[in-house]
Amino acid sequence: MSRQIQVFSDAQPLAQAAVQTWSELAKTAINARGGFHVALSGGSTPKKLYTLLAEQCDPALLSKTHFYFGDERSVAPDHKDSNFRMAQQALFAPANIDEAHIHRMQGELPADEAAGNYQKILDHNLPKDEQGMGVFDLVLLGMGEDGHTASLFPGTDALTQTTQWVCANHVKKLDTWRITLTYPLINNADNVLILVSGAGKQPVLKQIFDHIPGHEHYPIEDIHPRGNLLWYLDQAAANDIIHL
């Protein structure tokens, strides 16, 4: 695994750099295997990236891309909180992505059922390694102010999932169920790109990167892909961090 950290002045150049990285990884994967398999992150940070991808990414690359999700909320696909809806509005619709290449987590179903269905979708569509484990070309992740990523929240059962690729995860502090990819699958990716923007994320990032003694161990600290780990931070999130 290689780790690289880049800091950008604000969210716009961060998103622009992510478009460039996405395109390079897509070209490599498509040239090698004819397709590019990416898990999208939710929340607000990646929306700018998705909008720029629709505007700037070579349609020939997008047409060979399979879009998956790192996690989903337990809501219908047209709900304002749906990660699918955000990606649909920012990227899939404007870029006219083939529906057959969009692999949605069914947030409208009970989380356990949705996770079981998604396991089948992943197993059917993802490239596999020698052990039969799915391999994403790229997993996009964000980070919450509590150090969660995807829907791997502190103190939740999904953190200890060592076999399933995707699972239902009850998040007590939000009083909700989520569907999330698990560490085994995320860490089997060739590339993981973590996008973190905003001052609210700085305290957790400082504890992690500056190895503050006695800090809580955050879920995002267990993201160790077999391939490349890239952190793209804006200045607000990276402020006052020494060891970047």
* Closest distance of CB 52 from ligand 6PG, Å: 15
Neighbouring CB atoms inside 10 A of 114's CB total: 22
Cα dihedral 55, 82, 10, 244 sign: negative
Q: Is 161 in the site for ligand 6PG (CB under 6 A)?
A: no
Q: Going by DSSP bridges, is the β-strand pair 228-234/2-8 parallel, antiparallel, or unpaired?
A: parallel
C-beta of 83 vs 207, nearer to ligand 6PG: 83
Sheet arrangement for strand 71-73:
71-73, 176-181, 166-171
Among 21, 65, 82, 83, binds ligand 6PG (CB under 6 A): 83
Among 142, 147, 219, 225, binds ligand 6PG (CB under 6 A): 142
* Closest distance of CB 33 from ligand 6PG, Å: 26
CB 195 within 8 A of CB 45: yes
In the shown chain, the binding pattern of residues 6 to 45 toward ligand 6PG, with x for contact by CB under 6 A and - for none, equals -----------------------------------xxxxx
Q: Distances from the Cα of 48 to the Cαs of 52, 142, 239, in angstroms?
A: 6, 13, 21
* CA atoms lying within 13 Å on the CB side of residue 28: 10
The pair of structure tokens assigned to 226 is: 């077999």
Q: Is 149 in the site for ligand 6PG (CB under 6 A)?
A: yes
Q: Is 147 in the site for ligand 6PG (CB under 6 A)?
A: no
* Closest distance of CB 236 from ligand 6PG, Å: 12
Site residues (CB under 6 A) for ligand 6PG? Answer: 41-45, 70-71, 83, 142-144, 148-151
